[in-house]
Chain A
Amino acid sequence: MLKVIRAELRKLRRPSLSLSTILTVIGTSSLVTSLLFLLIDSPQGNAREGQRISREILQLPSGVVVGFNNSATLLGVVALCIFAAQTAQEYTYGTLRNLLVRQPSRMKILFGKLAAMKIFAIVMVIFSAIVSIGLSYALAPTAKVSTALWTNSDGRLAIQQGLLNVLISTIGFGLFGMILGLLFRSPISSISIGVIWILIIEGLLSAVVKNIDKYFPGQLLSVVAVGGTEKISYKYALFGSYSILLLGLVLVAFLFKRRDVAN
Chain B
Amino acid sequence: MSSQDFIRQSGGLGTKSSYSKSIWRTIHTDPPLLVGITLLCGFGLLVLFSASGGDVAVVQRQALTMVVGLVVMFIVAQFNVRFFRQWAPTLYAAGLGLLGLVLLVGVEANGAKSWLDLPGLPSFQPSELMKFVVPMLMAWYLASRPLPPRFKHLFWSAVMILVPAALIIIQNDTGTAIMVTMSGIFVVLLAGIRWRIVIAGFIMLLLASPSWFIFLAQEHQKNRILTFFNPYRDPTGAGYNIIQSQIAIGSGGIYGKGYGDGAQSHLDFIPESNTDFILAVLAEEFGLLGVLFLISMYLFVLVRGCYIAYAANDTFSRLLAGSITLTFFFYVFVNMAMVSGLLPVIGLPLPLMSRGGTSVVTLFVGFGLLMSIQTHGHNRSV
Q: Is this pair of chains taken from one and the same complex?
A: no
